Chains A and B, each alone.
Chain A
Amino acid sequence: MNSFIELFKANLKMIFREKEGFYWTILMPAFIYVALSVLPIGKSMGTGMEYSNYVLPGIIAMTIMQGGIYGLAYWMVDLKLRGIIKRLMATPIKPWQLATSLISARLVTVLAQTVILTLLGVFAFDAGFAPYSYPGDYTGFAGNIFSTIILVLLGGAIFLCLGLIISNYAKSYDTAAPITSAIGLPLTLLGNVFYPIESLPHSLQVFAKLLPITYLSDGLRQAYLYPFDFNKLSFDILILTVWLIVILLITVKVFKLKE
């Protein structure tokens, strides 16, 4: 446990002391969100609501996905290429301790990104976490922090495990780039991030409904923009849990810490 905690802390220090990388990790999604919210492009998306509201949970889901697929996979490749994995494996540390410490530290980053984007959306664009008017006189409150945390942790774990699996097969940056693009691009374009999947052709809708990011975006939208509704949220959480179990099993089966 001591090894795990120290590695977790070391990973956090590395992430937060890499100022340039950290700023871009935080700033780029925020910039994309602001640009999409102020430009008049959202009106043509058929979302039935202010685009700044619709796209905030999508951007957060996309950021979580990118943190795993791009962030962790490239970081692991870098650690491998610089011989650091080998140096760590020369100690009695177990591979799972190293892998879980990396994932845990990255989950903290994902939570930080979520908090910053949420604060930006809520305070600058009134996106979510606000009073909600039902038809009739009844009003409620849209936004549920607990559901948000569950969804972010589930999504983070899924995509960080995916990042680990990618790093298993990517021996260099040159091999990591096409693999991450091949996986990241369809997840971004078909994953319910920028527009509803109902606006896609039917065949792509079928594919989109298999992707975990579709349910992460949908779940976050439910958690941010509507009053708590267990029935609606539980479906997204169930699908994400199934995805997490499957991807954990694959990670345990295929992931090896090697040069």
Chain B
Amino acid sequence: MENVIEITKLVKVYQKKGKVKGGLTAVNGISFAVQKGEIFGLLGPNGAGKTTTLEIVEGLMVQTSGKVTVLGLDNLTQTEAIKKRIGIQLQSSQYLHHLTLGELLDLFASLYTPSLSLRAQPKQSQDRSPRSAALPRDDKKKGLLQLVNLSDKENAEVKDLSGGQKQRFTIAASLVNNPEILFLDEPTTGLDPKARRDLWQLIKTLNRQGITIVLTTHFMEEAEFLCHRVAIMDSGKILEIDEPKKLIDHLSDTTQVSFFTENKIDANLFTSLPEVKKVHANYPKVILEITSLDKVSAIVAVLKNHNILFYGFTVKTASLEDVYLKLTGKDYEE
């Protein structure tokens, strides 16, 4: 499979003003590649280095050391050529005030090469796909708005949109240049479950049209549903990189029990049990990794014997969240 992004020993250190030494190492020597046509996820807690990595690849930031190529182009010397061939959705979905969605799409299209402008297209194309560069201005604009289910909002302003609509519009705006790679930085943060699932479907649709997608997310469920491969990052390093299913399979011998307690409890109650492999106690939530499903009764027995009041008792087998938890030692909600 062809690599569209190659990152080798990437380092980014944020220097303090006026100081040569020291500073914060946001990305610490990571290497990975993204293959053509896949949805690739970067997972990690806040401050893991996901956005920094993405912004270096997108040409918005310069690395301290290491090599990055995007579509075979060097990110330091061929930045403009890269920008013409990628689409970017940033964490913030703010746009210029007082312009309608249609005007914003016109504007963004004009910032790429004139041939990609939504304005001047001399000929009608046979390709009716919303991503076709050869469509006349209005068809292209309407196609993009239709794709993100905002056809009736062409004359509305961004401030009049809901959170989900705003995020869908940011994706439409990132598609005006028919990108080969689309970068989505936490695309569903702050959205309600329905809007989140709508956006997932949109991302899947775009990927089926042949766009390689690189996204960052906090949501394990999202990564598991969308991504062909994920890289789990923490403290500027990649801890693991693989298909979600394979990462989960490595933990298949683990069953997770979680519950909430009324009062703070001593985690040692469970660490002494042979059935319990690991305890994560963060009052009021307790998460126990046990060797198999039939050991759940032993946990319940301990709770009863110690008169511990508990609620929200759930049992589940391994998921990407467990992989994340195991690798980073952090609850993804932290």
A7 to B106, CA, bound (A): 10
Interface residues of A: mostly helix, strand, loop or mixed? Answer: helix
CB distance from A171 to the nearest CB of B (A): 12
Which of these, A3, A6, A87, A92, contacts B90 with CB under 8 Å? A87
Known interface pairs A6-B107, A7-B107; A90-B90 also in contact (CB < 8 Å): yes
The chain B residue with its CB closest to the CB of A3 is B111
B96 contacts the other chain (Cβ, under 8 Å)? yes
B271 contacts the other chain (Cβ, under 8 Å)? no
Stretch touching chain B among A10-18, A142-150, A232-240: A10-18
Interface residues of B: mostly helix, strand, loop or mixed? Answer: loop
B319 contacts the other chain (Cβ, under 8 Å)? no
A89 contacts the other chain (Cβ, under 8 Å)? yes
A209 contacts the other chain (Cβ, under 8 Å)? no
A66 to B80, CA, bound (A): 35
Q: Which residues of B contact A91 (CB under 8 A)?
A: 83, 108, 111-112, 177
Q: Which residues of B contact A87 (CB under 8 A)?
A: 88, 90, 92, 94-95
Q: Which residues of B contact A2 (CB under 8 A)?
A: 110, 114, 117
Stretch touching chain A among B97-105, B147-155, B188-196, B248-256: B97-105
B289 contacts the other chain (Cβ, under 8 Å)? no
B88 near A90: Cβ-Cβ < 8 Å: yes
Known interface pairs A90-B58, A91-B112; A14-B90 also in contact (CB < 8 Å): no
B90 near A10: Cβ-Cβ < 8 Å: no
B300 contacts the other chain (Cβ, under 8 Å)? no
CB distance from B313 to the nearest CB of A (A): 43
Considering only residues 58-85 of chain B, those with a C-beta below 8 Å from chain A are 58-60, 80, 83-84
A93 contacts the other chain (Cβ, under 8 Å)? yes
B96 near A10: Cβ-Cβ < 8 Å: yes
A7 to B112, CA, bound (A): 12
A88 contacts the other chain (Cβ, under 8 Å)? yes
Q: Which residues of A contact B107 (CB under 8 A)?
A: 6-7, 10
A178 contacts the other chain (Cβ, under 8 Å)? no
- Band of interface residues on B: 20 to 34
CB distance from A8 to the nearest CB of B (A): 11
CB distance from A45 to the nearest CB of B (A): 41
Known interface pairs A13-B99, A87-B90, A92-B83; A6-B106 also in contact (CB < 8 Å): yes
CB distance from A10 to the nearest CB of B (A): 5
Q: Which residues of B contact A3 (CB under 8 A)?
A: 110-111
CB distance from A108 to the nearest CB of B (A): 16
A82 contacts the other chain (Cβ, under 8 Å)? yes
Q: Which residues of A contact B84 (CB under 8 A)?
A: 92
The chain B residue with its CB closest to the CB of A16 is B98
The chain A residue with its CB closest to the CB of B81 is A92
Q: Which residues of A contact B92 (CB under 8 A)?
A: 82-83, 86-87
> A-side interface residues toward B, CB under 8 Å?
2-3, 5-7, 10, 13-14, 17-18, 82-84, 86-93
Instruction: Show 18 A/B contacts (Cβ-Cβ < 8 Å), sorted by A.
Output: A3-B110, A3-B111, A7-B111, A10-B99, A10-B107, A13-B98, A14-B97, A14-B98, A18-B97, A82-B94, A83-B92, A86-B90, A86-B92, A87-B92, A88-B111, A91-B177, A92-B84, A92-B113
Closest 8 pairs between A and B when the two form their complex, measured CB to CB: A83-B92, A6-B110, A17-B98, A91-B111, A82-B94, A90-B88, A92-B83, A2-B114
> B-side interface residues toward A, CB under 8 Å?
58-60, 80, 83-84, 88, 90-92, 94-99, 103, 106-108, 110-114, 117, 177
Besides A3-B111, A83-B91, 8 other A-B contacts (C-beta < 8 A):
A7-B110, A10-B103, A14-B98, A18-B97, A83-B90, A84-B94, A87-B90, A88-B111
